[in-house]
Amino acid sequence: MSALNRKVIRDLRAIWAQALAIALVLACGGMVLVLAHSTERALSETRAAYYDRNRFADVFATATRAPQALLAEIAAIPGVAVAEGRVGFHLLLDLEGMVEPAVARVISLPLAGPPRLNVPILRAGRLPDPARPDEVALSEPFALVHGLLPGTRFVALLNGARRELQVVGHVLSPEFIYTIGPGSLMPDDRRYGLIWMGAEAAEAAAGRKGAFNEVSLRLSRGAREDAVIAALDGVLAPYGGTGAYGRDRQGSDQFLQGELDQLQAMGRILPPVFLIVSAFLVNMVIGRLVATERRQIGLLKAVGYSTAEVAGHYLRLAALIGAVGVVIGWAAGAWLGQAMTALYADFYRFPWLIYAPGPGAFVISGVLGMATALAGAWRAVRTSASLPPAVAMAPPLPPAYGAGRLDGLPRTLGAGQLALMVWRGITRFPGRAAVTVAGIAASVAVLIAAFSTYDAVRAVAAEVFGAANRQEVTLTLTDETRAAPALEAAQHLPGVLRAEGGYALQVRLSHGPRSRFVALEAHEPGDLMAHLLDSAGRPVALPPRGLVLPRGLAAALGARPGDRLRLQRLTPPYEEWDLPLSGVIRQSLGQSAHIDAETLHALLRQSPRVNRIDLRVDPARLPALHAEVKRSPVISGLTLWSDLRRQFDETLRENLLISSAIYSALGMLITLGVVYNAARIRLAERAHELATLRVLGFTRAEVGWVLLGETLALTALALPLGWAAGYGFAALMVAGFSTELISIPLVVSRQTYGFASLMVLGTALAAGVAVRRRLDRVDLVGALKQRE
Residue 590 region by backbone torsions, left for phi larger than 0, else alpha for psi between -120 and 50, else beta: left
What whole-number distance in Å separates Cα of residue 122 and Cα of residue 526? 50
What whole-number distance in Å separates Cα of residue 232 and Cα of residue 248? 17
Does residue 296 sit in the same domain as residue 339? Answer: yes
Does residue 557 sit in the same domain as residue 569? Answer: yes
Please state, in angstroms and as integers, the Cα–Cα distance from residue 753 to each residue in 277, 434, 722, 734, 760, following that order: 21, 22, 9, 17, 11
Does residue 178 sit in the same domain as residue 196? Answer: yes
526 lies in some domain: yes
- Complete DSSP assignment for 135-162: EEEEEHHHHHHHT--TT-EEEEEETTEE
Rounded to the nearest angstrom, the gap between the alpha carbon of residue 234 and the centroid of all alpha carbons in its chain is: 39
Pairing label, strands 102-109, 192-198:
parallel
CB 663 within 8 A of CB 464: no
Q: Residue 686 gets which letter from DSSP?
A: T
Q: Residue 519 gets which letter from DSSP?
A: E
Pairing label, strands 102-109, 88-94:
antiparallel
Does residue 228 sit in the same domain as residue 288? Answer: no
Closest to 57 (Cα-Cα) out of 106, 123, 12, 107: 107
State phi, psi for 540 to the nearest 5 degrees. Answer: -115, 135
**Cβ contacts of 138 within 8 Å, gap of 6 or more:** 148, 167, 169, 170, 171, 193, 194, 195, 196
Please identify, among 583, 617, 651, the residue that sits at the C-terminal boundary of a domain: 617
567 lies in some domain: yes
Residue type at 702 in one-letter notation: E
CB 61 within 8 A of CB 233: yes
402 lies in some domain: no
Q: How many domains does the structure of the chain reveal?
A: 4
Please identify, among 227, 253, 279, the residue that sits at the C-terminal boundary of a domain: 253
pTM score of the predicted model: 0.79
Please state, in angstroms and as integers, the Cα–Cα distance from residue 113 to each residue in 66, 116, 424, 539, following that order: 22, 9, 84, 54
Q: Is 62 helix (H, G, I), strand (E, B) or coil?
A: strand
pLDDT of residue 788: 43
**Cβ contacts of 765 within 8 Å, gap of 6 or more:** 708, 711, 712
61 lies in some domain: yes
Strand partners, 517: 508
What whole-number distance in Å separates Cα of residue 733 and Cα of residue 699? 48
Q: Is 412 helix (H, G, I), strand (E, B) or coil?
A: helix
Sheet holding 211-219, edge to edge: 80-86, 211-219, 59-67, 245-246
**Cβ contacts of 378 within 8 Å, gap of 6 or more:** 315
**Cβ contacts of 21 within 8 Å, gap of 6 or more:** 281, 672, 673, 676, 677
**Cβ contacts of 584 within 8 Å, gap of 6 or more:** 548, 549, 550, 551, 554, 561
Does residue 373 sit in the same domain as residue 279? Answer: yes
Residue type at 602 in one-letter notation: A
264 lies in some domain: yes
CB 453 within 8 A of CB 660: yes
The count of other CB atoms within 10 Å of the CB of residue 334 is: 18
Does residue 243 sit in the same domain as residue 277? Answer: no
Residue type at 161 in one-letter notation: A
6 lies in some domain: yes
Mean pLDDT per 10-residue section of the chain, whose length is 788 residues? 79 83 88 90 91 94 91 94 93 88 92 89 92 92 93 86 92 91 79 92 88 94 91 88 86 85 83 86 80 76 78 87 93 88 83 84 91 86 70 62 58 61 70 81 87 84 84 88 90 92 88 87 85 80 86 87 89 84 84 88 89 92 89 85 83 70 79 80 67 68 72 86 90 77 83 90 83 63 52
What whole-number distance in Å separates Cα of residue 421 and Cα of residue 707? 9
Does residue 390 sit in the same domain as residue 461? Answer: no
Does residue 242 sit in the same domain as residue 268? Answer: no
190 lies in some domain: yes
Strand partners, 198: 109
What whole-number distance in Å separates Cα of residue 676 and Cα of residue 431? 17
Q: Is 784 helix (H, G, I), strand (E, B) or coil?
A: helix
Closest to 574 (Cα-Cα) out of 240, 349, 293: 240
Please identify, among 253, 281, 309, the residue that sits at the C-terminal boundary of a domain: 253
Where is 481: in which H helix or E strand? strand 473-482
Residue 749 region by backbone torsions, left for phi larger than 0, else alpha for psi between -120 and 50, else beta: beta
Pairing label, strands 576-585, 547-550:
parallel
Q: Is 610 helix (H, G, I), strand (E, B) or coil?
A: strand
Does residue 207 sit in the same domain as residue 283? Answer: no
649 lies in some domain: yes
- Cα separation of the two ends of the chain: 33
Dihedral in degrees, nearest 10, Cα atoms 68, 69, 72, 77 = -90
Does residue 650 sit in the same domain as residue 517? Answer: no
- Domain housing 122: 57-253
Beta strands per DSSP E along 551-662: 564-569, 576-585, 593-596, 609-617, 635-640
The count of other CB atoms within 10 Å of the CB of residue 284 is: 24
**Cβ contacts of 533 within 8 Å, gap of 6 or more:** 463, 467, 468, 539, 540, 585, 586, 587
Q: Is 104 helix (H, G, I), strand (E, B) or coil?
A: strand
Q: Is 689 helix (H, G, I), strand (E, B) or coil?
A: helix
Pairing label, strands 593-596, 514-523:
parallel
Query: Rg of the chain's alpha carbons, rounded to an integer?
Result: 34
Does residue 216 sit in the same domain as residue 359? Answer: no
Does residue 173 sit in the same domain as residue 289? Answer: no
Strand partners, 170: 124, 138
Inter-axis angle of helices 16-53 and 641-685, to 10 degrees? 150
